[in-house]
Amino acid sequence: MKKVLVLLGLIGSMSVSAETIKTDNPNMYLKNYICEANGDATFNAVNKSTDEYWQYIRFRIYDSDGDPIDNFAWFISLLPKTGKKITRGSCLKLKGATYTVEVL
């Protein structure tokens, strides 16, 4: 019985941290962003704009001195007032990094 309670406690304490990543456009963002163990990012891309098509999202990564050290873009492809679940690679580049996010 004690083993079952310990196991339930461990399972209950394991959680996946999901976050919202804001972009330079307040109507376009990534919701429920999770960096998986394999390096893929899983998220819901949301386009709340009434007339803007969202094609790409670009991340610019900076070092501790504020110098740009990397950048990459993901294809999003969202019509206005839509959203969809997407999986892309390279999320490990964002862990612990300072970055900006732009809508293209």
Q: Tell me the pLDDT band of 5, cut-offs 50, 70 and 90.
A: very low
b (16+ CB within 10 A) / e for 62-77: eeeeeeeeeeeebebe
- CATH code at 16-103: 2.60.40
Residue 16: its pLDDT value, please? Answer: 53
User: pTM of this prediction?
Assistant: 0.78
Domain ranges within the chain, ordered by starting residue: 16-103
- Per the structure block, which two tokens stand in for 27? 């109507």
3-state secondary structure of 17: coil
Mean pLDDT of the chain: 84
